[in-house]
Structure formats: structure tokens, C-alpha cells
Amino acid sequence: MAILTTEPALEPQPIDIQAWTVETATAAISQVTIATPGDILGATVNLQIPLDDASTSAAPGERPTSTAAAKEGGYYKRKEPIRRDSLKRRESLLKGKEGTRRRLRWENDRLLNNPYVEPPQPKDWEVHPTHPVHNVPYYLAPLWDAGLARQHAERKTSAAKAKASSRTVAKKPTAPGVVPKELREKLKRSRGAKGLLMDLESEVRAFVTEWEDSVRRAADDGLPADPDSSDDEIVFVGRNGKMSDLRSPTEAPCKREIMLFETAEEDQGGSFGRWLVHHIGVYYGLKTWSVTVGDPARREAYVGLKDAKMRTGRNGACGPLPRPLWGLV
């Protein structure tokens, strides 16, 4: 049996660079050659795949695969490459198919079928304001400013009037047709008083309607609405020369005031009824007052006309009545 003995490899000795001298270092560096490393054989491969061209046939010596054999046999044709994004495809999608709404819109946008189309002129590209420009001479500028100020004041006044007329509730109303805020808040808490308000208001509306009818009839006849007592006398002269005064057989004159509410003086709840009468009078533009009469004493609440002026503030004005007060509280 042979015994193989191997000598241990010598360990590489480190280079003692510190022991080098200048001459030794120069000689060592002069022996070193620096060259560009060459390409490693087989490390890079150029790959070219023709996507748009037909596939090349197999080499003469190679056996074609099943796919290549199917192509050569004519079982199926190679598909054309799909161009999913191109300028031609974008334009066709933008136009749309013939006869569709997209195609009609595209043609209308470009004025293709309009025989009266004209190319834009250079003046069409000029920058100018779209609003009408008023060239006012310098000497007319103060008059122009005054006119603008007057128009602004008129618009402001009309807006304020419209805002005031549209208000249906006020804290202390002075104009007819405005609901007092205090009355509205109290009737919200005491719904039982709404029936009393309806009864009182129905009498007031009947009184106002009767007065306006009499005013309208008097206006049609050309007579004053509220004639004096001296105007109602007609003087007749008899055959013997004697005169006799006879009252004209006219209708009974309309009342200018009515008693709306009556309670005993000691009644504590009567003050609420008189308070309702006062607010009803303010709503319809009438005058209200209370008096104490009789024995035993009783309190009577009256409503009447304000110097023969109607609720609208004009003499002889017969307009529609406002909405019932009980329907607004």
C-alpha cells in the first residue's frame, strides 16, 4: 500500500511595502502594464424580434415545430399588430362613425357643411371688452355721474319699499296689513283666544265692507260718501207759495263706528278682549277707543273710521281687504 505524502503549501508572504525604497517602488511600478479589458466571449447577445414582419421559416436542416407547420399548412394567418394608440386611431375615435351624433357634432364644430362659413378676419382676434362702452365727453361727465347717482338712489328706495311691503310681522306696526309681533306671540301660547279673535275680526270685516260699498255707490251716483245733515234737506214750494222741508227718502246712512266688545268694569278678562280690539283696529287701519258707561258700570270698546279715510290711507279708496288676522297668527 502506497502512502502519499503531500507537503503543506507555503503561505503567501505579505509584501512589506514599508521596507521599499524609492528605487524599488519605481522598478515595481514600471513592470506593471495597464490595458483595457476585452469583451468576454459569449457574455452579450443581440436580440431582434420583428413585430411587424412575417415570421421567418425554420432553417433547412431543422425540423419545424407544430406551430410552424400549422402556419406553413395555411391553417391560420398571422394577425396584424394592433395599434392601440396612434394619431390615426385618435382621429377616427374623435370623428365617430358616419351618421352618428358624434360625427354630426364633429362636423358642426368645424363648419364643414355650412355654405356661409367665412374665415376669421384679423379684427376678430383683437382684444376688446364684451360689454358696451359708452364714450362720454369730458364736459358731460358731471351730468352722467348725477344720473347714475339718481338711478342708484331710486333703486335703493324701491328696494327698501319692497322690503317694507313684504314684511307681514312687525314689533310696533304703524301701517295696515302688518301683524303685531306681540299679538302673534301671545296667541301662540293661548290658542283658546283664537276663537274670540275670529268673532271680533268677522264683525270688523263686515263693517269695513259695508262702508266701502256705500262709498262705491256714492261715487257712482256722484254724491259725497258722508254728507252733512243740511245736504239731506229738500225744499218743496206749494201752489200757495208755502215752502215745506221734507227729508229725502234715502237709505239709512252707514255707521262710522261700531261697538265691538262690551264687558263689566270689574271683569278682569275684559282687558284682554279690548287689547284684541286695539290690535284688530291697527291691522285694518281703524281708530279704537274704550269708554265706561251705565250703572252698574261697564266697559265698551269701539272701532271707527279715521277722518273718513280708509285703511289704505286714501279718501274713497276701495281696495281688497287684507288676509284675515286670525290666519296669520
pLDDT in the model for residue 47? 75
Contacts of the segment 17-24: beta carbons below 8 A, 24+ positions apart: none
Say if residues 234 and 274 touch (Cβ distance below 8 Å).
no
pLDDT in the model for residue 224? 59
pLDDT in the model for residue 27? 79
Q: How far apart are CA 211 and CA 219, in angstroms?
A: 12
Q: Identify the segments of the chain with pLDDT beneath 70.
A: 1-20, 35-43, 49-84, 164-175, 177, 222-254, 307-319, 329
pLDDT in the model for residue 302? 85
pLDDT in the model for residue 156? 93
Strand, helix or coil at 220? helix
pLDDT in the model for residue 106? 95
Looking at 64-100, list the stretches that DSSP marks H as alpha helix, in order from N- to C-terminal side.
66-73, 87-95
pLDDT in the model for residue 104? 95
Nearest to 232 by CA among 218, 214, 253, 212: 253
pLDDT in the model for residue 66? 60
Say if residues 199 and 279 touch (Cβ distance below 8 Å).
no
Whether pTM exceeds 0.95: no
pLDDT in the model for residue 82? 65
Q: How far apart are CA 176 and CA 325, in angstroms?
A: 11
pLDDT in the model for residue 105? 95
pLDDT in the model for residue 276? 84
Strand, helix or coil at 179? strand
CATH code that applies to domain 184-216+236-313 = 3.30.1370
Side by side, the strands of the sheet bearing 257-264 are 257-264, 298-304, 287-293
218: cell is 256714492
pLDDT in the model for residue 311? 43
Residue at 34: amino acid letter? I
